[in-house]
Structure 1
Amino acid sequence: MSEGAEMNTSDGFRGAAFPPLPEPLPVEVFDSHCHLDILEVPITEVLAAAHSVGIRRAVTVGYDLASSQHAADAAATYDDVYAAVAIHPNDSGDATADVLADIAKLAALPDVRAVGETGLDYYRDWAAVEAQQRSFRAHIDIAKRTGKALVIHDRDAHDDVLRILEEEGPPDKVVFHCFSGDREMAKVCADHGYYMSFAGNVTFKNAGDLREAAAVAPLDLILVETDAPYLTPVPHRGKPNAPYLVPLTVRGLAETKGVDLAELCAAIAANGERVFGPW
């Protein structure tokens, strides 16, 4: 994609053009959480745009069996893509024993580096709390059995997520995707060695509590993500998101933390290799 161009799907994603390319980062980082299947843009085009601004790699994340298979296939096809596989908590009613067995098989594949996104979502009532918690416990077990990172979706459920992690015993590597806690939650995660992945909403005007959390999050536990096509950072909030927009969030984090941009990028890159393994 050329400088200043816009990335569009064949029908113009939801009728809206993608934002222009941001200024490249001084050190390459990666997008720790996106949904390449939902973007509906050729993966080669998504990666080319990302590479042009210093986003070398991306983790594409499953939320049901079909999207998890798509993620695993993408990771097996493209060198700069890794996969995470799981049943989203909002769909945990579908997490039958057979489905979870299929997720476990996918999780064992070499290019699948995480189990997620799993966890709890109390903001929506699309799945019963009991089903969500049962599914979350099962995914924790899969992550531990396969030796993969656990990627957590935690929405309005901090206390129960932390409790269940403690009861089950967490895997070696735990990532809170689209971290949504406050300063105190960040300190709890830091005490447990849990990684906090910040998305574009950290740049939103009304995200003061989230920026306070980012300010106290240790450099060695920070990741960055798009959750593409969602949560597009300022100044393009409301437009579709993609991995090439990670630099906007990274710059916002650097300003929030008062650290050098290149230093933050290097930390994010190193953290990514610790969580997902070498690329």
Structure 2
Amino acid sequence: MSSNRRRGEAPPAPEPLAPLVDAHTHLDACGATDADDVRAILDRAEAVGVLAVVTIADDLESARWATRAADWDRRVYAAVALHPTRANALTDAAKAEIEQLAAHPRVVAIGETGMDLFWPGKLEGCAEPAQQREAFAWHIDLAKRTGKPLMIHNRDADAAVLDVLAGEGAPEAVIFHCFSSGSDMARTCVDAGWLLSLSGTVSFRNAKDLREAAALIPPEQLLVETDAPFLTPHPFRGAPNESYCLPYTVRALAEVVGRPDIEVARETSDNAFRTYGFRS
């Protein structure tokens, strides 16, 4: 980030790049509270080529909100689940409500779920690994029953995530959101036919291992996302992220994989529309 840019200042709009789909964002965490806020975020995104976004839930309240937001704007779809760090909140009542929300036609994925072994012991109230595994297994089953893609959060948990997937049997479509592992994990996921979604981290100067892994992903298994408001791409790291920033990430990724940015844009948007089953 340039020295004259404040960390709290939003990045400027990039040059448009279309078509794009933001495969994973958090509209509520970006400050949206109502239909007008959502429309404004999507208008900014569409102005630079982002045609659709999937807004993600990480707790029960955000699952309710994401499902409502998907009805507010035709460019918004939703995913519902409890984040692995909140797996200890997956009561029978929560399961019943998530199942009900997952049946909504504009809920296009079950997520984000998975394993996070970074936060236990560091974050008060964080679900323990055993609780995370149990919740992950339940979400895998829900993805199978609904026929919707499974969206995985994996932080410092490659072996644990693979173990649960092997034990439960992976659903037909699996997405590793914000893929951040190395080449070995990338090869394993690619060989299994899973999709890997890359965020602004691929542009970070210290992300050598991730860039090596990104180069191994076949075009038909690649998605792109913002994970907004987090992980703003270089050179705006630390500034607030939003879906309109996605072209910065795609252009950085295009350099890594050695393909034109418009080609990467088309490939990833086609993959998103196919995998999520968008109908608009």
**Out of 108, 112, 131, which is 1:113 matched to?**
108
Q: Which residue of 1 aligns with 2:43?
A: 48
Distance in 2 between the 1:97 and 1:208 partners?
A: 43
Distance in 2 between the 1:85 and 1:113 partners?
A: 9
Identity %: 46
CA contact (8 A) 2:8 2:238 kept: no
Q: Which residue of 1 aligns with 2:254?
A: 254
Distance in 2 between the 1:274 and 1:61 partners?
A: 18
Unaligned stretches of 5+ in structure 1?
1-13
Aligned length, in residue pairs: 265
Distance in 1 between the 2:134 and 2:29 partners?
A: 27
Alignment of 1:145-224 (within 5 A): 145-224=145-224
Encode CA deviations 1:103-129: one digit per residue, 9 max, x unaligned: 111111100000000000001112111
Distance in 1 between the 2:273 and 2:25 partners?
A: 17
Letter aligned with residue 106 of structure 2: D
Q: Which residue of 1 aligns with 2:14?
A: 22
Distance in 2 between the 1:53 and 1:274 partners?
A: 22
Distance in 2 between the 1:171 and 1:224 partners?
A: 21
Q: CA RMSD in A?
A: 1.2
Shift of 1:16: 2.1
Q: Which residue of 2 aligns with 1:82?
A: 77
Letter aligned with residue 170 of structure 2: P
Q: Which residue of 2 aligns with 1:73?
A: 68
Q: Which residue of 2 aligns with 1:235?
A: 235
Shift of 1:17: 2.7
Alignment of 1:89-128 (within 5 A): 89-125=84-120, 126-128=126-128
Shift of 1:15: 8.6
Unaligned stretches of 5+ in structure 2?
1-5, 121-125
Q: Which residue of 2 aligns with 1:272?
A: 272
TM-score by length of 1: 0.93
Moved more, 142-151 or 14-23: 14-23
Distance in 2 between the 1:95 and 1:276 partners?
A: 25
Distance in 2 between the 1:171 and 1:80 partners?
A: 26
TM-score by length of 2: 0.93
Q: Which residue of 2 aligns with 1:32?
A: 23
Q: Which residue of 1 aligns with 2:3?
A: none
Letter aligned with residue 136 of structure 1: F
Distance in 1 between the 2:9 and 2:44 partners?
A: 14
Off by >3 Å, runs of 4+ in structure 1: none
Shift of 1:263: 1.4
Letter aligned with residue 238 of structure 1: G
**Higher RCO (Cα < 8 Å, 6 or more apart):** 2
CA contact (8 A) 2:111 2:151 kept: yes
Please state whether the residue corresponding to 1:114 is helix, strand or coil: strand
Encode CA deviations 1:58-94: one digit per residue, 9 max, x unaligned: 0000001100011111112210000000000011110
Letter aligned with residue 13 of structure 2: L
